[in-house]
A and B are shown apart, each in its own frame.
Chain A
Amino acid sequence: MSFHPNDVARRARMSSMALSIGFVLLVGAFFKTQVIQYKQYVMQSEENRLRPIPLPAPRGIIYDRHGEVIAENLPAYSVSITAPSVDSLRSALAQLAPTLQLGQNDINNAIRRYRRAPTRPTVVLADASIDIVSVLEEHRLDFPRLIIQSVPKRYYPDGPSVASFVGYTGEITESDLNDPKYVNYKPGQQIGKAGLEKQYEAILHGKEGVRFDEVDARGRPVRGEGPRPDLNPEGAPPLYTNIDLDLQKFMVGIFADSLQGGAIAIDPNTGEVLGLYSAPSWDPNKFTGGIPVEYYKQLLDDKRRPLVNKAIQGTYPPGSTFKLATSIIGLEDGVVGIHEHMPVSCTGGYQFGNRYFRCWEKKGHGSLDLEGAIKHSCDVYFYQLGLKIGLAKFIAGGIKLTMRDKSGIDLPEETQARWPYAIDYYNKKYGARGWSNAETLNLAIGQGSNSQTVVNMAKLYSAFAAKGVAPRPEIAHLVPQRKQIFTLNTQQDSIVLEGLKAVLEAGGTAGASAIQGLTLAGKTGTAQNTGGADHGWFVGFAPADKPKIVVAVLLEFGLHGSRAAHIASAIIGHYLKVGPIKATMDEG
């Protein structure tokens, strides 16, 4: 062994050197981490220990035109839980299930929400009852990861009365979350699911706030007070609508429980929707925070189909209400003079080829001019007017009158009206030789391949009430939009108007619905319904000379338009504060 002192001293120097270098390197590494990269690690350490708890923002309050509340927010309690893993969530839910009265479905939903956003507290109950909350509060210490929050909950004071247009809110679904439209949304959040709530989601949805809880490595909150100031949620601005809640409730009342159908009231000058109702309705308050299965089933099973909005979704043959369109197309094209009589006078029907087309009046109307034809709704007159216009022009005219469009009302559910796009439509549908010009006769009286929504008919009559300018029906006045869809000269206009006025005078098809001291103009209609009793239509406006309101009413299985006219005139009378209604209801 070479343990000569010189050798040992040399090795000692070498190892002292190596030791010193080793420690200098270590100190250098700590200097880099603790001094140079300090800020980065401080941030990471903050992120580690601060858990953001989202604070839901209250949705914008929805008001009617007079400042009455249509939709507001009430305080409710939501129960959420944070979990480090799915298994941990599962066991926590199993433990909580009896207290929270969770079903398998609730548990599955919670797990789905967790999978989507594991770092976010998982909503277990969006709207917990006060009983559950008080039990949970008592056992707070047993469930340290539970978060019980006061959250705003949507409430509609008039519930079913406003459901037809306001829609409802609910939890964002999995497919919504995949939609780029909802890119910034998180599972468990409430969004507008239908109606105005959906249409104006971007406006009504406030900005979520954040509270920072200090948590330990297992996600358990350690101190009550957040170490960082909360970011308060920002409530959405209110949404002012054109709805007249008083009129709306009147409309609801008039339909009562027995009638079914849709009605809409529009200011023809602006397109403002004053009221919109589909009967029977449903309660949007029951939909908030998850649709109860039983209630939903009950609505689905209801033969009156409450979930189909009859004012904007249901399409019906417009029947005689369409004769206004036929008249306008004929007048605009110049194929009919204002006092012109048709070649064949009405004897209760019209022979076309080998088919006999009936007039609704079996006794016949005799020879009528346009005004009279409108007043009496004479089918024979309009058969001939239709033939005079010719199918191609007639279809084009209908398209110009937006009979093939959506009205553009600011509701997401509106159905597009059906009207042929061209003669080619028939060739495609029946084959080039499979149809005859009889289709023209059908179209002329509002039957055939013509199916309109209540709101679209209201738009047509609004255009007539406003000298050919069709306003887009708007529940919330955000982007007014108007379009000239036809032009009649003054004489033509007044002849049609006189005809529409005469409908509501003695001898007219809705004579029984006249209002004393008010000139109404409108048209009844019967939508042939192969599946049952015919639907009754009325579309009209008042005052006739300076229209302030257009009302369209469709009564399902209403047989004839006179009952619909009765309802419409009541609505108009209520809105214009005129009445009482003179005549009693009778079928005419």
Chain B
Amino acid sequence: MSRPIVSDFRLLAAAGLLSLFGVAMVYSAGQTDTPTAVATVYKSQILWLLIGLGFAYAVGHSSVRFIEWMTTPLYLLSIVLLGLTLVIGKGAGTAASTKSWLAIGSHRIGQPSEIAKVTVVLMLAKVLANQRETPRSLLDLWKPAIVVGIPWLIIMLQPDLGTGIVFIGIFFAMLFWAGVAWPLLILIASPAISLILSFSVGLWGAWFFILLALVLWYRPYLIEGIVLMVLNVATGVIAPMMWEKLAPYQQNRLKVFIDPSADPRASGYHVIQSKVAIGSGGFFGKGFTLGTQKRLAFLPEQHTDFIFSVVGEELGFLGVTIALALFLWLFLRITQIAERANDSYSSLVAFGLMSSWFVHVLVNVGMTLNLMPITGIPLPFFSYGGSFMLASWLAVGILMRISGEGRGSALSLRR
């Protein structure tokens, strides 16, 4: 079977267009009236993109079986690297106090968590694919829980709330794709939901009754049901104490998510300025590189976390819609790849990678409009950053491979 250079043109087109769009925005983000170091970062972003394309090409010409064979060592390696960040980690940018960067001396090498997002997807896919039965009870889920739980714990210790959310997103999405029934998914999520609702006694009470009904209807093992209810009560009660344990900046971010004007100078400042930038862009935007909020440095982190605000300010509603449409196109295409994958491992990997990006886009873009809390999560293909660009294109390469090996691959696909 001859291997074409591009096994899935639509996938490459969507990812490629998004990357070009992103590099252009990183360039624009550097165009401020008072020049800063950001002015030249687009050059390194292009370099990272080229390296990423090389990775994608290489991976795209390996085989899914090789990737599956590499999964466990890669997963273990990324866990080790993540663990190292706790020892020699450094912070950067808005998250200066965290330890998500691996550094030797003062040189930051990369963010292992970006690579871990891919390896965790691979590992989870492998574990789920190897389970003969679809998980029906909480006990059946202990393996997937450990696969995601270990890196998740390390990341929460860094602490990096945003990446933690991505991992949870990946976990649930892949369980869904593996065929886990939705009541079970809700039961798994229930302690966290209790935690969130515990701030309102009424809401939590209502939730508790719904949960009770769900447990009675789904009928998990008795012991599981009891443990679940106990956990829900526990999180519902200890939540206020947990709140006290949060670092002040985390508390602030959550508070500001609820009311951005509560702290207009600090955390709320980001969101307010971002909304002002986006809103003042209007339908057609202020023109490429011409955003005044960005030029005059009102927009913070304009080349990383808030790059989508630059899109909104300079290219307007039109540019935003085009960017989001490209993302949707990419995600629908990957869903298709997952659907047509040859085996369950490939299918789960494809869906897992897509869900990881989807959570990124949802949280990052939502954050620029204050629909999501500020978690310092980057926008795939847009936000400046080498590790994420590499990881993303590595993922594109894997998806290309899966697509190439799948049913109805690029060559034989008729529609």
Contacts and interface: CB of A to CB of B under 8 A. Distances in A.
Given A1-B179, A12-B339, A30 B131 contact: no
Contacts of B336: 12
Contacts of B369: 29-30, 33
Interface in A1-23: 1-3, 7-9, 11-12, 15-16, 19-20, 22-23
Contacts of B278: 30, 33-34, 41
B149 interface: no
B321 A40 contact: no
Interface stretch (A216-224, A290-298, A415-423): A216-224
B179 to A, nearest CB: 4
A202 B379 CA distance: 58
A8 B347 contact: yes
A226 B275 CA distance: 25
B244 interface: no
A13 to B, nearest CB: 9
A417 B275 CA distance: 66
Interface in B268-284: 273, 275-283
A23 B328 contact: yes
A38 B283 contact: yes
B227 to A, nearest CB: 25
A16 B355 CA distance: 11
B297 A217 contact: yes
B207 interface: no
A36 to B, nearest CB: 9
Nearest to A11: B177
Contacts of B344: 1, 3
Interface stretch (B105-113, B358-366, B380-388): B358-366
Nearest to A9: B339
B178 to A, nearest CB: 6
A contacts with B: majority SS: helix
Interface in B304-318: 312, 316-317
Contact of A44 (B34, B280, B339): B280
Contacts of A35: 282-283, 317
Interface residues of B, number: 55
B170 to A, nearest CB: 13
Contacts of A218: 34, 297
B260 to A, nearest CB: 13
Contacts of B280: 38, 41-42, 44-45
A565 B56 CA distance: 110
Contacts of A217: 273, 296-298
A48 interface: yes
Most chain B CB within 10 A, of A1, A27, A34, A220, is at A34
A222 B34 contact: yes
Nearest to B177: A11
Nearest to B299: A217
Nearest to A14: B176
A19 B33 contact: no
Contacts of B343: 3
Contact of A48 (B131, B132, B296, B331): B296
B208 interface: no
A9 B407 CA distance: 13
A214 interface: yes
Nearest to A31: B317
Contacts of B131: 1
A177 B203 CA distance: 50
B328 A1 contact: no
A214 to B, nearest CB: 7
Contacts of B365: 26
A107 interface: no
B327 interface: yes
Given A8-B339, A19-B331, A1 B133 contact: yes
A15 B369 CA distance: 24
A216 B34 contact: yes
Contacts of A30: 278, 312, 317, 320-321, 324, 369
A8 to B, nearest CB: 5
A215 B298 CA distance: 10
Contact of B335 (A12, A34, A37, A214): A12
Nearest to A15: B335
Contacts of A15: 173, 176-177, 335, 351
Contact of B276 (A3, A29, A41, A220): A41
Given A8-B339, A35-B283, A1 B275 contact: no
A261 to B, nearest CB: 60
Contacts of B178: 1
A326 B338 CA distance: 117
B297 A45 contact: no
B358 A22 contact: yes
A33 B32 CA distance: 24
Nearest to A85: B265
B96 to A, nearest CB: 18
A19 B338 CA distance: 14
B371 interface: yes
Interface in A44-62: 44-45, 48-49
Contacts of A222: 33-34, 296
B128 interface: yes
Most chain A CB within 10 A, of B33, B279, B324, is at B279
B74 to A, nearest CB: 22
A384 B32 CA distance: 94
A22 B332 CA distance: 12
B119 interface: no
Interface in A407-441: none
A20 B328 contact: yes
B158 interface: no
Contacts of B362: 22, 26
Nearest to B130: A1
A220 B298 CA distance: 12
A34 B324 contact: no
B296 A11 contact: no
B335 A49 contact: no
Contact of B366 (A26, A45, A214): A26
Contacts of B338: 8, 12
A7 B179 contact: yes
A42 B34 contact: no
Given A11-B179, A12-B335, A22-B358, A215 B296 contact: yes
B62 interface: no
A101 B336 CA distance: 74
Contacts of A38: 279-280, 282-283
B277 A45 contact: yes
Nearest to A2: B179
Interface of B: 32-34, 128-129, 131-134, 173, 176-179, 273, 275-283, 292-293, 295-298, 312, 316-317, 320-321, 324-325, 327-328, 331-332, 335-336, 338-339, 343-344, 347, 351, 358, 362, 365-366, 369, 371
Given A8-B347, A34-B278, A45-B279, 16 more contacts: A9-B339, A12-B335, A12-B339, A15-B335, A16-B335, A19-B328, A26-B365, A27-B324, A31-B317, A41-B276, A41-B279, A42-B282, A48-B273, A48-B296, A216-B32, A216-B295
12 contacts: A12-B335, A15-B173, A15-B335, A27-B324, A30-B312, A34-B278, A35-B283, A42-B279, A44-B279, A45-B279, A216-B298, A220-B34
When A and B form their complex, which 6 residue pairs have the shortest distance between CB atoms, in order from nearest? A41-B279, A45-B280, A216-B296, A12-B339, A217-B297, A2-B179
